[in-house]
Structure 1
Amino acid sequence: MALLKAAGIGLVLGLLMGVPAHAQISSEGGPIYINSERTESLERERKVLLVGNVDIRQGTARLRADTVTILFTGEPAPGASTQGVAAGFGQVQSIVAEGNVYYVTPELKAKGDRGIYELATDTITMTGNVALMRDRDVAEGQRLKMEIGNRRTTLEGGGGRTRMVIDPETQSQANR
């Protein structure tokens, strides 16, 4: 799924902060634009907080959430810049988006209450009222796990059931 490859939810933020070029929210790359009501840099904790109506854009991809927290390893990434907002923090370890999380690309839309990107496992996990939409197909559940490198997506109902609506016309048009 393009969401998996492009998502890297906070990887885009990493680019802005001196992380290698593979860290991004859009497969297109390019400049990253971040808007929030408040930005806080916590150097001792190697953390950057974006608070209040966070809106991150890169190319045709967009991530929105109430808050985004970027955690760093303290280890410099290979080829990382020594300049930028969080250059001394090292490589991105994880990115946590909370509250009204939306990730949108031209191919798909995903929403949930919380989204976490883990660099070590190259995994995105969205929880709480999750919906994944591609064209007119919709999948809903409580926990969505996307293993990007393995190209594997798992949707769980969280004690309930998952629901899907698949439009066969959309599928046949995509295969033409």
Structure 2
Amino acid sequence: MTRNKVLVSLAALVALAVPAVAQISSDGGPIYINSERTESLERERKVLLVGNVDIQQGDARLRADTVTMIFAERPAGAADTTGVGSGFGQIQTMVAEGNVFYITADMKAKGDRGVYDAASDVITMTGNVALMRERDVAEGAVLRVEIGNRRTTLDGGDGRTRMVIEPDGNSGN
């Protein structure tokens, strides 16, 4: 397998990553959230989702032990809406911790922690990161996806990155 296939596979992750409006699917649509407990911290502008958190939107799914949604200041004069956390404004940051899985139709990523920052439009996954696309697998310590720049970086941390690439049409001969 050539280096170009690896770059194409990593670049494809950018197209599937979370858009700037803090959605988990590039298709948009309603977001369905399930957790064992939901806690709204109004003064801190946070919503905590605790215990077997499962968030789905379109063909994307985010699973983690806990997810913290941090909201930006609500613009003056903005209309109130209904729902948990909806009075806070736009989601500024989402932090998923513990057994984090991000799954779309084309790829799977897992790590110990995942952070989406809407202002910089960057997703960062850390801690025993594994990235799977079809039969190709890449592992490292930090996965950083710069959505606007269409740049994906996998860092080995104190170690090295590892990849297994299965060439198309490999018959084993």
TM-score (norm 1): 0.82
Counterparts of 1:84-95 in structure 2, within 5 Å, are 84-95=83-94
Unaligned regions of 5+ residues in structure 1, if any? 12-21, 172-176
Contact 1:125-1:146 within 8 A present in 2 as well: yes
How far did residue 4 of structure 1 move? 3.2
* Alignment pair present for 1:8 and 2:8: no
The residue that corresponds to 1:73 in the other structure is 72
Unaligned regions of 5+ residues in structure 2, if any? 1-10
How far did residue 109 of structure 1 move? 0.2
| In 2, Cα distance between equivalents of 1:51 and 1:142 | 25
Q: Over residues 67-89 of structure 1, what are the superposed CA-to-partner deviations in whole Å (9 max), with x where a residue is unaligned?
A: 00000111339x87633322221
Opposite residue 92 of structure 1, the aligned amino acid is I
Q: Using a 3 Å threshold, how does the CA distance of structure 1 residues 99 and 105 change in structure 2: closer, same or farther? A: same
Q: Over residues 97-149 of structure 1, what are the superposed CA-to-partner deviations in whole Å (9 max), with x where a residue is unaligned?
A: 00000000010000000000001110000000000111111110000100001
Aligned residues: 159
Contact 1:111-1:131 within 8 A present in 2 as well: yes
Identity %: 72
The residue that corresponds to 1:26 in the other structure is 25
| In 1, Cα distance between equivalents of 2:17 and 2:120 | 14
Greater C-alpha radius of gyration: 2
Q: Using a 3 Å threshold, how does the CA distance of structure 1 residues 92 and 110 change in structure 2: closer, same or farther? A: same
Opposite residue 26 of structure 1, the aligned amino acid is S
Q: Using a 3 Å threshold, how does the CA distance of structure 1 residues 47 and 5 change in structure 2: closer, same or farther? A: farther
Contact 1:74-1:88 within 8 A present in 2 as well: no
The residue that corresponds to 1:19 in the other structure is none
Runs of 4+ in 1 over 6 A off after TM superposition: none
